[in-house]
Amino acid sequence: MNNLSADKIRASDVYHLGQLQIKTKRDTLEGLRNLNKSITMDSSTWTLHLDIAKMYYSRRMNCEAVAEYGMYFDSAGMTEPKVAQDLYFMGLAQYFCTVDSQNFMKAEKIFSKVAELVPAAGIGWFWAGKSASKKDPTPEQIAADPELAKQYGYARKYFEEYVKVAGGDKVKNQRDLLVAYPYLAYCYFVGNESDKFFPTIDKWLEVEQNPDAQKSIIEMKDAFGKEVAPGSPGPGATPGVPNGGGKGSRN
């Protein structure tokens, strides 16, 4: 192809070269660049952006994947429920694109769209909550200034929707419910919302199997309404402030 003049090279030639480079693993990244170049040469092949995004994502090149997903959705739109799965993976890529200082904020927006498209699936609500929780004050900040506890709860609306959807299957959704219930319980504890706090504590206890964790939950239940600084150490204090999302996972 190097011997051909530029006006003789077709988009399909560049596309097939890229496919060959990827298939033979001669130069995968160059192959992905050639696929992108072929779209530039023939804009009618814009759906290739999705294939490129998936390949970047599979290589954990999250920021590159986000850019390709974005170009795909610029043409595909985000109004049909069928795009929710690809939006979900775009959200994950954005969540883990750590060089972007607004990665969590942007991920929240994407996952909230997933929740809007398929509200009964639960996964959009959960990951929107994980993303939004990153705006909360940290346990260390609350320990230094207990008044900051009142600012805790950016993920509340998402986790409230999530437990409505996922709470019916406590076995299947145990891991994620053990993120959502502690978060909500703490929000209700700080807000002195007894009508929501105690039912959430009971549901949390139904899901939590660890005896030591159950003991901490009961201590939190007993501490409700008492003059104890949220998150402070000592008997009767609430257990550690939940981080709203646990460790990031692609599973």
Gyration radius (Cα) of the chain, Å: 23
Residue 247 has pLDDT above 70, yes or no: no
Greater model confidence, 174 or 34: 174
Q: What is the pLDDT of residues 133-154, one digit of tens each?
A: 999 999 899 989 999 998 999 9
Q: What distance lies between CA 76 and its chain's CA centroid?
A: 22
Residue 103 has pLDDT above 80, yes or no: yes
The CA angle 107-69-77, to the nearest 5 degrees, is 90
Greater model confidence, 19 or 221: 221
The pLDDT-based confidence of 209 (bands split at 50, 70, 90) is very high
d(Cα 9, Cα 2) in Å, to the nearest integer? 9
Q: Find the range with the poorest average confidence among 64-68, 203-207, 225-229.
A: 225-229
d(Cα 220, Cα 183) in Å, to the nearest integer? 13
Give mean pLDDT, residues 72-93: 94
Tokens of 246: 């646990």
The CA angle 138-142-147, to the nearest 5 degrees, is 135
pLDDT at 162: 98
If 0-12 CB within 10 Å is exposed, 13-18 middle and 19+ buried, where does residue 42 land? middle
The pLDDT-based confidence of 158 (bands split at 50, 70, 90) is very high
Q: What is the pLDDT of residues 16-36, one digit of tens each?
A: 665 767 777 777 787 788 777
Please check whether residue 153 is in contact with residue 113, taking contact to mean a CB–CB distance below 8 angstroms: no
